[in-house]
Amino acid sequence: MTSAVATPTERLAPRVIVYWLLADGISATFLTGLAWFIGRPIAAEWDKWTPTYEWLLLAACIAFLAVAVLSPPLAFVRWRFGFLDDLLLMRYGILFVEERAVPVRRMQHVDMTRGPIERLFGLATLVVFTAGNEGSAFRVPGLRLARAQELRDRIVEARGDGRL
Protein backbone atom coordinates (compact mmCIF):
# COMPACT_ATOMS: atom_id res chain seq x y z
CA MET A 1 0.00 0.00 0.00
CA THR A 2 1.47 3.36 -0.98
CA SER A 3 1.05 6.63 0.85
CA ALA A 4 -0.76 9.55 -0.77
CA VAL A 5 1.70 11.99 0.81
CA ALA A 6 5.39 11.93 -0.05
CA THR A 7 7.98 11.13 2.58
CA PRO A 8 9.87 14.25 3.72
CA THR A 9 13.53 14.32 2.72
CA GLU A 10 15.12 17.32 4.45
CA ARG A 11 17.33 16.55 7.44
CA LEU A 12 18.10 18.47 10.60
CA ALA A 13 21.47 20.20 10.93
CA PRO A 14 24.09 17.53 11.79
CA ARG A 15 25.35 19.56 14.74
CA VAL A 16 22.05 18.78 16.48
CA ILE A 17 23.62 15.44 17.42
CA VAL A 18 26.27 17.17 19.52
CA TYR A 19 23.62 19.53 20.95
CA TRP A 20 21.40 16.60 21.95
CA LEU A 21 24.38 14.67 23.34
CA LEU A 22 25.35 17.64 25.48
CA ALA A 23 21.81 18.43 26.65
CA ASP A 24 20.87 14.78 27.30
CA GLY A 25 24.29 14.06 28.80
CA ILE A 26 23.99 16.89 31.31
CA SER A 27 20.52 15.69 32.36
CA ALA A 28 21.52 12.02 32.51
CA THR A 29 24.72 12.75 34.45
CA PHE A 30 22.82 14.88 36.95
CA LEU A 31 20.08 12.29 37.49
CA THR A 32 22.42 9.31 37.74
CA GLY A 33 24.63 11.33 40.09
CA LEU A 34 21.62 11.99 42.31
CA ALA A 35 20.66 8.32 42.26
CA TRP A 36 24.17 7.04 42.93
CA PHE A 37 25.57 9.60 45.37
CA ILE A 38 22.40 10.56 47.24
CA GLY A 39 19.84 7.82 46.66
CA ARG A 40 22.21 4.90 47.15
CA PRO A 41 23.46 5.98 50.62
CA ILE A 42 19.89 6.61 51.73
CA ALA A 43 18.73 3.25 50.39
CA ALA A 44 21.74 1.50 51.95
CA GLU A 45 20.28 2.37 55.38
CA TRP A 46 17.33 0.06 54.69
CA ASP A 47 17.43 -3.35 56.30
CA LYS A 48 16.74 -5.19 53.05
CA TRP A 49 19.35 -3.40 50.92
CA THR A 50 21.72 -6.01 49.50
CA PRO A 51 24.67 -5.98 47.11
CA THR A 52 22.25 -7.22 44.43
CA TYR A 53 20.34 -3.95 44.69
CA GLU A 54 23.64 -2.10 44.47
CA TRP A 55 24.45 -3.86 41.18
CA LEU A 56 20.92 -3.26 39.87
CA LEU A 57 21.19 0.46 40.63
CA LEU A 58 24.59 0.60 38.93
CA ALA A 59 23.18 -1.19 35.87
CA ALA A 60 20.22 1.21 35.76
CA CYS A 61 22.56 4.23 35.94
CA ILE A 62 24.76 2.84 33.16
CA ALA A 63 21.71 2.04 31.02
CA PHE A 64 20.33 5.55 31.52
CA LEU A 65 23.66 7.09 30.48
CA ALA A 66 23.87 4.72 27.49
CA VAL A 67 20.43 5.82 26.28
CA ALA A 68 21.52 9.46 26.60
CA VAL A 69 24.55 8.70 24.39
CA LEU A 70 22.86 6.41 21.83
CA SER A 71 19.53 8.13 21.26
CA PRO A 72 20.76 11.43 19.69
CA PRO A 73 22.45 9.81 16.66
CA LEU A 74 19.53 7.43 16.20
CA ALA A 75 16.99 10.27 16.44
CA PHE A 76 19.00 12.31 13.91
CA VAL A 77 18.99 9.46 11.42
CA ARG A 78 15.19 9.13 11.67
CA TRP A 79 14.23 12.85 11.68
CA ARG A 80 12.97 14.20 8.34
CA PHE A 81 10.88 17.21 7.46
CA GLY A 82 9.90 19.18 4.40
CA PHE A 83 7.23 21.12 2.58
CA LEU A 84 4.99 19.68 -0.12
CA ASP A 85 2.70 22.32 -1.57
CA ASP A 86 0.85 23.61 1.51
CA LEU A 87 1.78 20.73 3.83
CA LEU A 88 4.54 20.65 6.42
CA LEU A 89 5.69 17.02 6.55
CA MET A 90 7.57 15.46 9.45
CA ARG A 91 8.80 11.97 10.23
CA TYR A 92 10.57 11.16 13.48
CA GLY A 93 10.96 8.60 16.25
CA ILE A 94 13.31 5.78 17.12
CA LEU A 95 11.17 2.85 18.23
CA PHE A 96 7.81 4.39 17.45
CA VAL A 97 7.91 6.38 14.21
CA GLU A 98 5.46 9.23 13.91
CA GLU A 99 4.56 10.90 10.63
CA ARG A 100 2.74 14.20 10.40
CA ALA A 101 1.36 16.13 7.47
CA VAL A 102 0.08 19.47 8.71
CA PRO A 103 -1.76 21.80 6.31
CA VAL A 104 -0.57 25.39 6.49
CA ARG A 105 -4.20 26.55 6.70
CA ARG A 106 -4.49 24.81 10.11
CA MET A 107 -1.43 26.58 11.52
CA GLN A 108 -2.39 29.32 13.97
CA HIS A 109 1.03 30.81 14.62
CA VAL A 110 4.68 29.89 14.51
CA ASP A 111 7.49 30.60 16.98
CA MET A 112 11.22 30.08 17.08
CA THR A 113 12.92 29.13 20.32
CA ARG A 114 16.64 29.14 21.04
CA GLY A 115 17.95 28.00 24.40
CA PRO A 116 21.51 28.81 25.50
CA ILE A 117 22.98 25.54 24.23
CA GLU A 118 21.08 25.88 20.92
CA ARG A 119 22.50 29.40 20.50
CA LEU A 120 25.98 28.03 21.18
CA PHE A 121 25.53 25.62 18.24
CA GLY A 122 23.74 28.12 15.97
CA LEU A 123 20.51 26.11 16.10
CA ALA A 124 16.84 26.93 16.57
CA THR A 125 13.60 25.05 17.17
CA LEU A 126 10.57 25.92 15.08
CA VAL A 127 7.36 25.63 17.13
CA VAL A 128 4.12 25.52 15.15
CA PHE A 129 0.71 25.82 16.81
CA THR A 130 -2.28 24.40 14.98
CA ALA A 131 -6.04 24.49 15.34
CA GLY A 132 -7.39 21.59 17.34
CA ASN A 133 -6.54 19.74 20.53
CA GLU A 134 -4.61 16.59 19.56
CA GLY A 135 -1.04 17.58 18.86
CA SER A 136 -1.97 21.25 18.64
CA ALA A 137 1.68 22.27 18.92
CA PHE A 138 4.67 20.53 17.44
CA ARG A 139 8.38 21.21 17.16
CA VAL A 140 10.98 20.89 14.48
CA PRO A 141 14.25 20.94 16.47
CA GLY A 142 17.84 21.19 15.34
CA LEU A 143 17.43 23.66 12.49
CA ARG A 144 20.14 26.05 11.44
CA LEU A 145 18.99 29.53 12.49
CA ALA A 146 18.69 30.73 8.89
CA ARG A 147 16.65 27.65 7.90
CA ALA A 148 14.30 28.09 10.88
CA GLN A 149 13.75 31.72 9.87
CA GLU A 150 13.09 30.67 6.25
CA LEU A 151 10.52 28.09 7.35
CA ARG A 152 8.85 30.55 9.71
CA ASP A 153 8.64 33.17 6.96
CA ARG A 154 7.32 30.62 4.46
CA ILE A 155 4.54 29.57 6.84
CA VAL A 156 3.62 33.18 7.58
CA GLU A 157 3.60 33.98 3.86
CA ALA A 158 1.54 30.90 3.01
CA ARG A 159 -0.97 31.86 5.71
CA GLY A 160 -1.27 35.25 4.05
CA ASP A 161 -0.62 37.07 7.30
CA GLY A 162 2.10 39.28 5.81
CA ARG A 163 3.62 39.98 9.22
CA LEU A 164 6.04 38.16 11.49
Is residue 139 a part of any domain in this protein? yes
Which pTM value belongs to this model?
0.81
**Residue type for position 104:** V
Please indicate, yes or no, whether residues 91 and 60 belong to a single structural domain of this protein: no
Please say if the pLDDT value at position 84 is more than 60.
yes
Do 149 and 119 sit in the same domain of this protein? Answer: yes
pLDDT of 2 above 50:
no
C-alpha 142/C-alpha 117 separation (Å) is: 11
pLDDT for res 53: 87
pLDDT score at 133: 63
Residue 4: inside a domain: no
Q: Is the pLDDT of residue 3 over 80?
A: no
Q: Is the pLDDT of residue 38 over 60?
A: yes
Indicate the residue among 76, 108, 126 that finishes a domain: 76
Parallel, antiparallel, or unpaired for β 80-84 and 123-130?
Answer: unpaired
The DSSP result for 14-35, as a single string, is TTHHHHHHHHHHHHHHHHHHHI
- Tell me phi and psi for residue 46, to 5 degrees: -70, 150
More confident site: 43 or 149: 149
Taking the C-alpha atoms of residue 52 and residue 33, their distance in angstroms, rounded to an integer, is 19
pLDDT recorded at residue 134: 60
112-142 pLDDT, tens per residue?
999 999 999 999 999 988 876 666 788 999 9
Residue 96 and residue 71 in one domain: no
Q: What is the CATH number of the domain that holds 97?
A: 2.30.29
Residues 87, 153: one domain? Answer: yes
Range of the domain at 46: 16-76
**What is the pLDDT at residue 135?**
61
